[in-house]
């Protein structure tokens, strides 16, 4: 904890409007990370979140709710531009060859996160 900062900080997100197509969780994590980055709260890096599905052997970033019904994987990642902080997910089974594809996707997500921070 940075010297002089003694207050616990918590961010809560409420969904006030929902289009029924896109899950709001990834946007909530990303917007909270941006809010902290823009505030005076001392933090090292901004955090972003993303949901990943697996449909037909291809990873889908931030799939719609309908796409998730067909997905073989429900994975939620959050992290900074250099590190993954959390991985939460569910799958009936997951093949090793899919892991290498997921790592390549992870690199693309880091680049996307870096672009978001420049906005």
The pLDDT tens digits for 58-115 are: 888 889 999 999 998 898 988 887 777 888 888 877 666 666 666 666 666 666 555 5
User: Is the distance from CB of 45 to CB of 82 less than 8 angstroms?
Assistant: yes
Provide, rounded to the nearest whole percent, the portion of the chain with pLDDT above 90.
17
Is residue 5 included in any domain, yes or no? no
Residue 95 CA to its chain's centroid (Å) = 22
For the chain, the domain total comes to: 1
Q: For the chain, how are helix, strand and coil distributed in percent, rounded to 5?
A: 35, 25, 40
- CATH value at residue 109: 3.30.230.70
Using alpha carbons only, what angle is made at residue 71 by residues 24 and 94, rounded to the nearest 5 degrees? 115
- Predicted confidence band of residue 39 (pLDDT cuts 50, 70, 90): confident
Is residue 74 included in any domain, yes or no? yes
Is residue 100 included in any domain, yes or no? yes
pLDDT of res. 9 = 81
pTM to 2 decimals?
Answer: 0.75
């Amino acid at each position: 904890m940075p010297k002089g900062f003694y207050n616990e900080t918590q961010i809560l997100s409420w969904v006030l409007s929902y289009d029924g197509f896109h899950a709001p969780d990834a946007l909530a994590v990303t917007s909270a990370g941006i809010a902290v980055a823009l505030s005076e709260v001392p933090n090292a890096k901004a955090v972003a979140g993303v949901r990943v599905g697996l449909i037909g052997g291809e990873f889908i970033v931030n799939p719609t709710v309908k796409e998730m019904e067909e997905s073989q994987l429900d994975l939620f990642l959050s992290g900074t531009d250099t590190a993954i902080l959390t991985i939460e997910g569910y799958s009936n089974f997951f093949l090793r060859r899919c892991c290498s594809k997921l790592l390549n996707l992870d690199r693309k997500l880091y680049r996307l996160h870096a672009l978001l921070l420049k906005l």
